[in-house]
Amino acid sequence: MASPADAMAVLRIENLSKRFGGSTALDGVDLAIGAREVHGLLGQNGSGKSTLIKILAGFHAPDPGARLWINGHAVALPLKPGDFRRLGIAFVHQHLGLVPSMSVLENLLIGEHAVAGRWRIAWAREAERAKALFARFGMTLDPAAAVETLTSVERAQLAIVRAFDQITRQPDTQTRLLVLDEPTPFLPAADVQKLFQLVRGLVAEGASVLFVSHDIDEVMDITDRITVLRDGRVADTLRTAATRKADIVRAIVGRSVDLDAMRAPRRAPGGDAVSIEGLRGAIVDDVSITVRRGEIVGLTGLIGSGYDEVVHLAYSATRALAGRLTISGTTLELAQLTPDAAIAAGIVLIPGDRQSDAVVGTLTVADNASLPVLGRQRGGWAISARGMNRIAGALAETFDVRPRDPSRLMAHLSGGNQQKVVLAKWFQTAPRLILLDEPTQGVDIGAREQIFRIIRDMSDQGTAVLCASSDHEQLAAICDRVIVLSRGRIVASLEGDAISKPAIAERCYASFGDTTGSVS
Amino acid sequence: MTSAKREDANRAAQGPDKGQVWIDRGERYGLIVAWLAVIAIFGAIRPEVFLSWANFSTIFGSQAVLVVVTLSLIIPLTAGDYDLSVASVLTTSSMLVAVLNVTHGWPIGAAILAALLVALLVGVANAAIILYFRIHSLIVTLGMGTFMHGVTLWFSDSQTISGIDLTLVTAVIATRLFGIPLAFYYALIVALVIWYVFGHTAVGQRLLFVGRGREVARLSGIKVDRVRFGALVASAGLGGLAGVLYAGTTGAADPSSGMTYLLPAFAAAFLGATSIVPGRFNAIGSVVAVYFLVTGITGLSILGVSTYVQDLFYGAALIVAVALSQLVRGREERLT
């Protein structure tokens, strides 16, 4: 695996292994990150990515035999928690570690206040320094603004700049290695580009980056080289510029997956099942959509176009200002709808933010999955744990939830399996309209395929599906029709063979600023 | 799916692990074992006093009030709300029984009914303020508790009132079944009802989801506000019942001693959540926890230790209980 660049690697690991009880999480992994390199780390859930990162963070001790060099100097393993700072390494995790109610500047300085006791903080001078720091990377954040008023991408930018700032202020080292652990899954495509601009700016200032992600397109966009882990081993190390996406997918999954074949065959949808008329919300402005029986309709657009708001308004997850939804002869006034009334009408929502909206991690799979059908066991007045486990066990079998243990805590499942539980939870109620919000966010590629199949199966049984997503590949794979929104209005509609990833992306960007009213 | 294969292997490795099974059992029944150990220790030191049936009968009977207060707390706690006003509701209710029955000559039945009604109204007020203004329950019930204490001092003239109708005393403490006063069985019935509702009904599951993930609950079609409302009214109602039992246990009512139940009840609720169904507030665990704490204190006072030990014991128990439940949670997280 040695290449000439490895000799002057910022970080070099050899023979890294880690066993947990009987299972091997990492098995003889070598990794080298060059100076000013953006190095991608890819792999399915359970491939060993997070174990590797936790070893760098000093959270796990590796098995004996592993060796680590930072800037050519050998460093003794295991690292102690917090050692990474001294070594010039900083981590930005998916949950960015910002305090929303505090100001940008306070958040920027948190790390410093944690270690250095100073009697007087020169706020004005720090604010100037922060402004200059942001300006260097083309950002215009107000140091006094509360973090909760920032957009998602601004928060991610702040967290990354903060990490960079912390390591550049380390007196003991010249090393600048940023580990970005899945920083993008909650960001729409346009914002990801902003983040990448920042990453390139940091590299220009001498930083190296280890970029961990599920998203192959993003990794191909930003990295110089890619290391793919599979079953705890390095499946391949690839030079990004010379690699095709299919090669990466094969390295991740261990077999080839034909992305184009995931595209649904054209189907003949049934009659109208659901119609939404005159929908208005915070962004969405007079949108009308009709979905036929067995049809999967995608909703997309740029950030702020309101495409993701539609599914929330139709379920009353956020209350609509106006609009009517007609489903099997019943008309619901969306301005008065509540989620329980939506469920009663046969509507279900699979939220995009799984952790806060869809699952309770501290409760079991059985608890989570049985919630909507509790009333079915003798009116809800004689429920047994065994009964709930039986229902959840059968669902786990049908939806291939692993492990098949309904008494597991939800938090112990991978993202993909959690999402399968959420789908199982709702699909067992035989809904008439399924509302999806980024259904495969934070889900590995194997589970993604399964989730597509599950959604397709539901629509084959006649269920209408509305799927909001900024993942154009996903929309191209599952949708019969894709509706593009801009500034709260429908601006384009693609159907059948006209649907493809580039076509959707083109419509999203081309249509910006050009609003032509609604299409049904 | 190789990653799934690994997870299965993981589970297979953990599944038959005998150590894990014993840790689980230890967690579940540890408190009962600790209780028996406390009994054995004091029994060995002072067998003639401590191991007498009279002593146990007193422990079981006199602490029924604390059991009911503890049970009243775990309902809103499960739904994610604190009810700090429950001790004041107890005081108000016992005082109302005394004032209406003794001072105003109401029949005891009517006095009890009025006391329970007022308790429920306090619950409604708590819930309405919390839900309408979206204020944290800790603040609202702290204020409401002090407010109701003030009301009680006012309408009772800060006097202790004795001479409550003996029918109540007979029904609560003087009549014994298998040597134990009826009060114990009332508390047991409440515990069994809560045990059933928590463990075997949709209502219990909804309560749990509202406490653990409010947004998840709302988006799952649970009427979150209605559940929280119900939980707060139920806890106030049980607080009122505890007050009636208190009046029946002592045959009198005073405007302040009810307040001393609040901290022991919280200690027992959190301690109970570490056993029987570890990690969840549960009725049986709460009952065991109350009697564990009370047995310890009774034993110490039989040994002649001063009364300040009560505060030491309850205060330490609350902190230890919460620390223990934190440890349980930490171990679960490390399993991943």
This complex has an ipTM of 0.82
**What local confidence, expressed as pLDDT, does residue B9 receive?**
42
Mean pLDDT of chain B: 87
The answer to whether the Cβ–Cβ distance between A372 and B221 falls below 8 Å is yes
**Chain A contact for B221, CB < 8 A?**
yes
In angstroms, the separation between the Cα of residue A465 and the nearest Cα of chain B is: 18
| pLDDT tens-place string over residues B17-55 | 667 777 777 778 888 888 898 888 888 888 888 888 888
Render each residue's pLDDT in chain A as its tens digit; 520 residues: 444 445 578 999 999 999 877 678 899 999 999 999 999 998 876 688 888 998 998 888 899 999 999 988 888 888 888 788 888 899 998 778 888 888 999 888 887 766 566 667 778 888 898 999 999 888 888 999 998 888 888 888 999 999 998 888 877 778 889 999 887 765 766 788 888 999 999 999 889 999 998 778 888 999 999 999 988 899 889 999 988 888 887 887 776 555 555 566 666 667 778 999 999 988 888 999 999 998 999 999 877 788 989 999 999 999 999 999 999 888 999 999 999 999 999 999 999 888 889 999 889 999 999 988 887 777 778 888 888 888 888 888 888 888 888 888 888 888 888 999 999 999 998 999 999 999 988 787 778 888 998 999 899 888 999 999 988 888 888 899 999 988 888 988 888 878 887 778 777 765 544 444 333 3
For chain A, the structural domain boundaries read: 4-97+150-256, 261-510
Most B-contacting residue of A362, A370, A420 (CB-CB within 10 A), to test interface = A362
Q: Which is it for strands A73-75 and A67-70: parallel, antiparallel or unpaired?
A: antiparallel
**Number of A–B residue contacts, CB under 8 Å:** 112
**CA B73/CA B84 separation, integer angstroms:** 8
Could you tell me if A288 and A278 are in contact, meaning their C-beta atoms sit under 8 angstroms apart? yes
Is the model more confident about B306 or about B204? Answer: B204
Most B-contacting residue of A383, A407, A444 (CB-CB within 10 A), to test interface = A383
**What local confidence, expressed as pLDDT, does residue B11 receive?**
43
Most B-contacting residue of A402, A417, A423, A427 (CB-CB within 10 A), to test interface = A402
In this structure, what DSSP letter does residue A377 have? T
**CA B238/CA B236 separation, integer angstroms:** 5
Spell out which residues of chain B touch residue A349, defining contact as CB-CB under 8 Å: 219
Instruction: Report whether pLDDT(B10) > 70.
Output: no
Spell out which residues of chain A touch residue B12, defining contact as CB-CB under 8 Å: 22
**Chain A contact for B193, CB < 8 A?**
no
SS (H, E, C) A33-101: ECCCCEEEEECCCCCCHHHHHHHHCCCCCCCCCCEEEECCEEECCCCCCCHHHHHCEEEECCCCCCCCC
Q: Whose CA is closest to B148, among B228, B203, B84?
A: B84
Of A357, A362, A383, the CB nearest to B200: A383
B179: left (phi over 0), alpha (psi -120 to 50) or beta: left
**CA A78/CA A18 separation, integer angstroms:** 11
A261-510 CATH fold: Rossmann fold (3.40.50)
**CA A464/CA A347 separation, integer angstroms:** 10
Q: Which CATH class is domain A4-97+150-256?
A: alpha beta
Of B205, B206, B219, the CB nearest to A339: B219
The answer to whether the Cβ–Cβ distance between B221 and A374 falls below 8 Å is no
Could you tell me if A468 and A299 are in contact, meaning their C-beta atoms sit under 8 angstroms apart? yes
**CB < 8 Å from A in window 196-215 of B:** 199-206, 208-209, 212-213, 215
**Chain B contact for A47, CB < 8 A?**
yes
Q: Whose CA is closest to B273, among B243, B318, B238?
A: B318
Tell me the one-letter amino acid at A410: M
Instruction: Report whether pLDDT(B173) > 90.
Output: no
The answer to whether the Cβ–Cβ distance between A403 and B10 falls below 8 Å is yes
Long-range contact set of residues A74-82: C-beta below 8 Å, sequence gap at least 24: A79/A55, A81/A57, A82/A58
Helices B64-78 and B224-250, packing angle to 10 deg: 170
Q: Whose CA is closest to A97, among A57, A70, A137, A68?
A: A57
The answer to whether the Cβ–Cβ distance between A359 and B213 falls below 8 Å is yes
Instruction: Report whether pLDDT(B336) > 50.
Output: no
**What local confidence, expressed as pLDDT, does residue B333 receive?**
46
Report the share of chain B in percent with pLDDT over 90. 51
Signed CA dihedral, A77, A78, A84, A90: sign only: positive
* pTM for the full predicted model: 0.75
As a whole number, mean pLDDT of residues B64-91 equals 95
**CA A391/CA B205 separation, integer angstroms:** 15
Which of the listed CATH numbers 1.10.10, 1.10.3470, 3.40.50, 2.40.170 matches domain B33-330? 1.10.3470
- Placement of tokens 């001092």 in the chain: B153
A488: left (phi over 0), alpha (psi -120 to 50) or beta: left
For chain B, the structural domain boundaries read: 33-330
Of B9, B204, B208, the CB nearest to A23: B9
